[in-house]
A = this chain, B = another copy of it.
Amino acid sequence: MGRHAEITVRRAQVSDAEAIQATLASPKAMAGTLQLPYPSLDAWRKRLADAPADDFILVAEVVGEVVGNLGLHAASKSPRRRHAALIGMSVRDDWQNRGVGTALLAAAVDLADNWLNYTRLELTVYTDNAAALELYRRFGFSVEGTLQAFAFRDGRFIDAYTMARLSPLHLANAAGARAGSITKTASKVAPGSRRKRPS
């Protein structure tokens, strides 16, 4: 890996609409998302202006230019999934593989783990997007499944991986709960009695 230009991540604002439009007009970036050709500037202005307070749209700036964006959104309206957020991101074609995705994802994971307490981060990535897969794995995402014919891309249906990352806090709590229940079970179960093995 060579040296990267300095990358600044900040919250998007309405005046970033042109740069986001330019990113999504670059063919690889568009194809890698669920966006469409001919992105609308007005639609992006409106989306940025109307974004709810808990919807984080971040942009990455390099040498004064916005070349990537990331959205961190509640995964569901149901309070039973309040712990889960969805990530989508894109980097302008001429800036891919130069640290922009890493900077954006590091900012999103920090937000999720340390401020928003999203304990489950979710995303989908087309199965042939090796660079993105590698990036997500590096941040602790793992593949939970393969969604067949998930989306239409350049004339045909394409599969996607569904990936997720559980936060360190979630994993620590889960380990604590397991330890707690083992202790409880151990103290409750009479010697010699049958015990269910975890399946």
Q: List chain A positions with a Cβ less than 8 A from chain B.
A: 34-36, 76, 78-84, 119-120, 122, 143-153, 156-157, 162, 164, 166, 170, 174, 177
- Report how many copies the assembly holds: 2
A162 adjacent to B162 (CB under 8 Å): yes
State the CA gap A114–B192 with chains docked (Å). Answer: 59
- A31's nearest neighbour on chain B, judged by CB, is B80
- CB < 8 Å: which of B83, B145, B153 contacts A146? B145
- CB < 8 Å: which of B36, B122, B156 contacts A79? B36
- CB < 8 Å: which of B81, B83, B150 contacts A81? B150
State the CA gap A146–B143 with chains docked (Å). Answer: 9
CB distance from A62 to the nearest CB of B (A): 28
Which of A76, A79, A147, A149 has the most B CB atoms < 10 Å from its CB? A149
